[in-house]
Amino acid sequence: MPSINIKIRLILLLVIIFNAACQEKRTLPILGHKDTVVKAGKVDTIYHQIPAFQFLNQDSVWISDKNYEGKIYIADFFFTSCPTICPKMKTQMLRLYERYANQDQIGLLSFSIDPEFDRPNVLKAYASRLHIQSPKWNLVTGEKAKIYELGQKSFMVTTQEDKNEAGGFVHSGAFILVDKQRHVRGIYDGTKEQEVNHLMEDIELLLKEK
Amino acid sequence: MKSSTCIIGIIGMFSFLLCFSACQSQEEILREQYVVEGMGQYERHCENCHQKDGSGLKDLYPPLAKTDVWKRLSAYQLTCIIKYGQKDTIVVNQKVYQNYMPGNTKLEALDIAELITYMREKWGDDKRIFPLDSARLALKNCH
């Protein structure tokens, strides 16, 4: 009997160690198109990165990729007069805003896909009604074509005008997680609490990298 | 002769009471149906902004729970706001909300009657049904 007991204990211990080892290995993938180049006889993988950008925020201040250098940030696409999924997204983004309020290495960035209407003053009014502030959470506007291109090509989400859609635009409710090297590390449904919980777990993983 | 009239009377009264209570519960069943349907309508058309618990979102979208809306606005006025939206500012609990509310033009009189019955019970402390005919009448007189 005692020997069986010891065996069981040993197995249990092994299972625990094995599990712990597996959990530590979990890393987030780098999403998007990959390229390989040969440099000095070595094969190098070039991952998809968010390119340089520059837009005006709710305080009429220029915000560029430089503002997010060395930071982890969560981006989304919305518009202030959106009657459909934006309110849900903003409810979830507020959770992130409150949770990471004191962590300077984490930022939030919302692009307006109705930039002609959402001028900085409109974004300012929206931000103050949401009780949020820059630079923790920048709401940005600019040239429509540039925002759409950035959304579709770089953040890999749907953004376009559609007169048949309530509010006049179609866009995904995605939250895009970008790491300190400008790589996209995850895309989540920003309208669902569960998915945003998952996003927060992934942020913890990113914080442990390097 | 006398006793038989008495029995008939008792039976008559009893059946009257039975019918009355049955009728009442039928009305109650209808009201409960309205509440259940109204809850679904709320989830589909209102919850995004006003939140599941009716608490609103900061200063962007006004709350519905624990507000003076239910005393200040009639079901007729609410019907028009739900259907055609709210273009001007609205004051809720003495606070001004400036975001415009889009109308839910696809909702029919029955949908709105259910919705208001549900919300009134939940937040207005008002257990009356908002009848379909009243919702129809309200819609005719919007604008």
**Segment A154-175, tens digit of pLDDT:** 999 887 777 777 677 777 889 9
Q: Which residue has the higher pLDDT, B39 or A86?
A: B39
**Segment A199-208, tens digit of pLDDT:** 999 999 999 9
Mutate to test the interface with A, among B46, B49, B86, B101 (most CBs of A within 10 A): B49
- Residue A22 predicted with pLDDT over 70: no
DSSP state letter for A65: G
Q: Which amino acid is at A170?
A: V
Mutate to test the interface with A, among B44, B60, B95 (most CBs of A within 10 A): B60
Q: Is A22 annotated as a binding residue?
A: no
- In A, minimum Cα distance to B96 occurs at A129
Q: How many domains is chain B built from?
A: 1
- Residue A153 predicted with pLDDT over 90: yes
ipTM of the complex: 0.70
Q: What are φ and ψ of residue A53, in 5° steps?
A: -150, 165
> Are A97 and A136 spatial neighbours (Cβ–Cβ below 8 Å)?
yes
pLDDT value, residue A24: 57
Contacts of B100 in chain A (CB under 8 A): 81
Residue B122 structural domain: 2-140
> Are A92 and A196 spatial neighbours (Cβ–Cβ below 8 Å)?
yes
* CATH code where residue B9 lies: 1.10.760.10
pLDDT value, residue A1: 52
Out of A38-52, A142-156, B7-21, least confident range: B7-21
Query: A82: distance to nearest CA of chain B, Å?
Result: 9
**Segment A97-143, tens digit of pLDDT:** 999 999 999 999 999 999 999 999 999 999 999 999 999 999 999 99
Q: Which amino acid is at A195?
A: E
Size of interface A-B (CB pairs under 8 A): 34
Q: Tokens for A187?
A: 């895309």
Q: Is A171 annotated as a binding residue?
A: yes
Residue by residue, pLDDT tens for chain B (143 residues) are 566 777 777 777 777 677 666 666 888 999 999 999 999 999 999 998 999 999 999 999 999 999 999 999 999 999 999 999 998 899 999 999 987 888 999 999 999 999 999 999 999 999 999 999 999 999 999 97
> Are A33 and A167 spatial neighbours (Cβ–Cβ below 8 Å)?
no
> Are A72 and A177 spatial neighbours (Cβ–Cβ below 8 Å)?
yes
Q: Tokens for A8?
A: 């069981």
Which region, left, alpha or beta, applies to residue A167 given φ > 0 means left and ψ of -120 to 50 means alpha?
Answer: left
Alpha carbon distance A141, B39 (integer Å): 37
Which string of DSSP letters, residue by residue, matches A94-142? HHHHHHTTT-TTEEEEEEES-TTT--HHHHHHHHHHHT--TTTEEEEB-
pLDDT value, residue B67: 97
- The helix, strand and coil proportions of chain B, stated in percent and rounded to the nearest 5, come to 60, 5, 35
Confidence of residue A185 (pLDDT cuts 50, 70, 90): very high
CA A22, distance to chain mean position in Å, is: 25
- In sequence order, the β-bridge partners of residue A133 are none
What structural domains does chain A harbor? 50-208 (3.40.30.10)
Mean pLDDT for chain A overall: 89
Strands A35-39 and A42-46: antiparallel
pLDDT value, residue B21: 67
